[in-house]
Chain A
């Protein structure tokens, strides 16, 4: 159940977090002595810039006036015009246009991987949660622990070597190791394009899912092992309810609740994984763009990508919070 008060608190919280992310973006370059953005521009193009244009660049980078004036200018251009600056490397493209053309790829990877991880994690946990201490339980738990502690990009690189290069069937590699779709298809709602996209996203998504699902499996397995001994489950057993009914209505429903909170936290870590996996597979999402921005010291693009992905995660968290309130009426009462 959702109450107006709960909703109000979550919305206020959403805005505070958003405001802080924006402020980090504003203050970070200005707190470092000798603004790195300005330094890099000067060191790269210093001899080509005529002195009379320096002021123009300063105002373009919003570096003129007192800190407070800069802050107001930054906030107003961001909120009123959605302006995030101009990329150094892809000049004259604006940061927001670059981000919006690449964000969909990242959302596709993130969304698919998160949903699959939760689904697989929960399914496996409901299976082994009822066979605690058995062979399947210890086998799956050990595999989960091993998989879950691997770095995302390392597994991606291994898959590239094994499935992208080493295994060759009929003179063809099993999976592509780079890009989001093959160069021979045109983007559009055609069968060949969609199948090419799915084919290219297979290895990145498998990498993300294999490392993300163990967390959900272990969490739900442990929750089930606690709930099984709870009084109300004993009571249900004692009054002779059938096992499937106890499982479905009493245990699994409750054991899924902690998953909902951990999805919000895990989403943040899957973002990091997706960024790294995009780099490994040269996948054109904003993680790959962030990597390019870091290697070319394209500071406006770095800042913009950080802001956009933070907003995405904050909104995702907000939605999860609302869903959680619907799933578990008790949270609203806190």
Chain B
């Protein structure tokens, strides 16, 4: 202590050595320490592991038809077989890779488009804001599923058409959230100080805005993953997109169209739905954990 009342560090002694972690790593660790976050993360890590590596170790080929059809679960086929005798467990494992690929690709595209549109609207304001927000409002009002159906009916039936359509349609909601976040954050003092120290708009956006929005971007994207998987399943159920690709949606399409109901083949029906439900529960747990840790709320 000196006469000013402030503690003055002793120049002679070396500064205390601290293990400096990046704030992002700190954040990930504290989400992992949160019990909800841990369960949610485990669900996703297991699902991603199944999607990436599962296809190398399935018990059978997902298109192997040498088994008897509509066989209930047994030791040889833990989830039974479907209408042509394909092993349901192998189909589920193989199909998870396509479904998760759709979910994560759409989420990535949505985040890129939505974040750019939202920040432009919120940061540039005026005419840019007006134009982007009118487009967003209109796209949000048009009912999503019928729009998906009509677009898919006209585009070639491939999984990439489905990904393209879902990406085009899911960014508006995210853009709206990002815009309102931009409007609040840009009034904070650290943005002002960056501005006064002469940083350009681009560097302010990259260094001040985006790092502060990472929690909300994460929360939105995890729900887009689930939403895209459910939407793709719904389109596949309508016979749209590539119905011969093996994924959770097309499993349900064939279940419905090959009278799985009349055979009461619950072992064929339950796995895709449970897979989707687990991802949904995981998304909610992860988003709750992220909002508890960061203090950001999920926006509806």
Which of A187-195, A229-237, A246-254, A302-310 contacts its partner? A302-310
- CA distance in complex: A154, B253 (Å): 10
Enumerate chain B residues within 8 angstroms of A271, measured Cβ to Cβ. Answer: 143, 145-146
Among B154, B240, B269, B283, the residue within 8 A (CB) of A157 is B269
Enumerate chain B residues within 8 angstroms of A26, measured Cβ to Cβ. Answer: none
Asked if B284 and A145 make an inter-chain contact with CB atoms under 8 angstroms apart, the answer reads: yes
Chain B window 153-168, contacts with chain A (Cβ cutoff 8 Å), 1 for yes, 0 for no? 1110000000000000
- CA distance in complex: A299, B262 (Å): 31
- A9-55 residues at the B interface, CB under 8 angstroms: 13, 16-17, 20-21, 24-25, 28-29, 32, 36
Given A151-B233, A317-B141, does the pair A145, B281 have CB atoms closer than 8 Å?
Answer: yes
Among A17, A165, A258, A303, the residue within 8 A (CB) of B300 is A258
Asked if A154 and B146 make an inter-chain contact with CB atoms under 8 angstroms apart, the answer reads: no
Asked if A276 and B237 make an inter-chain contact with CB atoms under 8 angstroms apart, the answer reads: yes
- CA distance in complex: A148, B281 (Å): 9
Asked if B300 and A219 make an inter-chain contact with CB atoms under 8 angstroms apart, the answer reads: yes
- A131-181 residues at the B interface, CB under 8 angstroms: 145-146, 148-155, 157-158, 160-161, 165-166, 177
Asked if B273 and A154 make an inter-chain contact with CB atoms under 8 angstroms apart, the answer reads: yes
**CB of B255 closer than 8 Å to a CB of A:** yes
**CB of B112 closer than 8 Å to a CB of A:** no
- Binding site secondary structure of chain B: helix
- CA distance in complex: A215, B280 (Å): 13
Asked if B154 and A36 make an inter-chain contact with CB atoms under 8 angstroms apart, the answer reads: yes
Asked if B145 and A280 make an inter-chain contact with CB atoms under 8 angstroms apart, the answer reads: no
Among B141, B155, B238, B252, the residue within 8 A (CB) of A313 is B141
- B225-272 residues at the A interface, CB under 8 angstroms: 226, 230, 233-234, 237-240, 252, 255-256, 260-262, 264, 266, 269-270, 272
**CB of A275 closer than 8 Å to a CB of B:** yes
- CA distance in complex: A306, B148 (Å): 10
CB distance from A129 to the nearest CB of B (A): 16
Asked if B237 and A145 make an inter-chain contact with CB atoms under 8 angstroms apart, the answer reads: no
**CB of B50 closer than 8 Å to a CB of A:** no
Enumerate chain A residues within 8 angstroms of B154, measured Cβ to Cβ. Answer: 28-29, 32, 36
Given A154-B273, A279-B238, does the pair A149, B226 have CB atoms closer than 8 Å?
Answer: yes
**CB of A262 closer than 8 Å to a CB of B:** yes
Asked if A302 and B150 make an inter-chain contact with CB atoms under 8 angstroms apart, the answer reads: yes
**CB of A290 closer than 8 Å to a CB of B:** yes
Asked if A310 and B143 make an inter-chain contact with CB atoms under 8 angstroms apart, the answer reads: yes
Chain B window 263-293, contacts with chain A (Cβ cutoff 8 Å), 1 for yes, 0 for no? 0101001101100110111011000000000
Enumerate chain A residues within 8 angstroms of B149, measured Cβ to Cβ. Answer: 275, 290, 294, 302, 306
CB distance from A146 to the nearest CB of B (A): 6
Asked if A17 and B141 make an inter-chain contact with CB atoms under 8 angstroms apart, the answer reads: yes
Enumerate chain B residues within 8 angstroms of A152, measured Cβ to Cβ. Answer: 234
- CA distance in complex: A303, B48 (Å): 38
CB distance from B214 to the nearest CB of A (A): 21
- CA distance in complex: A32, B156 (Å): 10
- CA distance in complex: A187, B149 (Å): 31
**CB of A109 closer than 8 Å to a CB of B:** no
**CB of A314 closer than 8 Å to a CB of B:** yes
- B110-128 residues at the A interface, CB under 8 angstroms: none
CB distance from B8 to the nearest CB of A (A): 41
**CB of A268 closer than 8 Å to a CB of B:** yes
**CB of B144 closer than 8 Å to a CB of A:** yes
Enumerate chain A residues within 8 angstroms of B226, measured Cβ to Cβ. Answer: 149
- CA distance in complex: A267, B144 (Å): 10
**CB of B46 closer than 8 Å to a CB of A:** no
Asked if B261 and A149 make an inter-chain contact with CB atoms under 8 angstroms apart, the answer reads: no
**CB of A272 closer than 8 Å to a CB of B:** yes
Among B239, B255, B264, the residue within 8 A (CB) of A166 is B264
- CA distance in complex: A17, B147 (Å): 14
Asked if A272 and B145 make an inter-chain contact with CB atoms under 8 angstroms apart, the answer reads: yes
Enumerate chain B residues within 8 angstroms of A149, measured Cβ to Cβ. Answer: 226, 230, 276-277, 279-281, 283-284
- CA distance in complex: A12, B210 (Å): 35
Given A150-B273, A157-B269, A177-B261, does the pair A265, B145 have CB atoms closer than 8 Å?
Answer: no
Asked if A160 and B238 make an inter-chain contact with CB atoms under 8 angstroms apart, the answer reads: no
**CB of B185 closer than 8 Å to a CB of A:** no
Enumerate chain B residues within 8 angstroms of A276, measured Cβ to Cβ. Answer: 145, 234, 237-238
Asked if A310 and B237 make an inter-chain contact with CB atoms under 8 angstroms apart, the answer reads: no
Asked if B252 and A20 make an inter-chain contact with CB atoms under 8 angstroms apart, the answer reads: no
Asked if A154 and B272 make an inter-chain contact with CB atoms under 8 angstroms apart, the answer reads: yes
- B163-202 residues at the A interface, CB under 8 angstroms: none
Enumerate chain A residues within 8 angstroms of B144, measured Cβ to Cβ. Answer: 268-269, 272
**CB of A295 closer than 8 Å to a CB of B:** yes
CB distance from B166 to the nearest CB of A (A): 13
**CB of A6 closer than 8 Å to a CB of B:** no
Q: What are 16 sample pairs from A and B whose C-beta atoms fall under 8 A apart?
A: A36-B154, A145-B280, A149-B281, A161-B261, A161-B264, A165-B262, A268-B140, A268-B141, A268-B143, A271-B145, A271-B146, A273-B145, A275-B146, A276-B234, A302-B149, A313-B143
Enumerate the 7 nearest inter-chain pairs by beta-carbon distance, A residue then B residue, closest first: A149-B280, A272-B145, A154-B273, A268-B143, A306-B150, A145-B284, A271-B143
Interface residue ranges, B against A (CB under 8 Å):
134, 137-138, 140-151, 153-155, 226, 230, 233-234, 237-240, 252, 255-256, 260-262, 264, 266, 269-270, 272-273, 276-277, 279-281, 283-284, 297, 300
Task: Contacts A158-B269, A265-B140, A276-B145 known; list 11 others, CB within 8 Å.
Answer: A13-B137, A21-B142, A146-B277, A146-B280, A149-B226, A149-B279, A149-B280, A262-B300, A268-B143, A268-B144, A290-B146
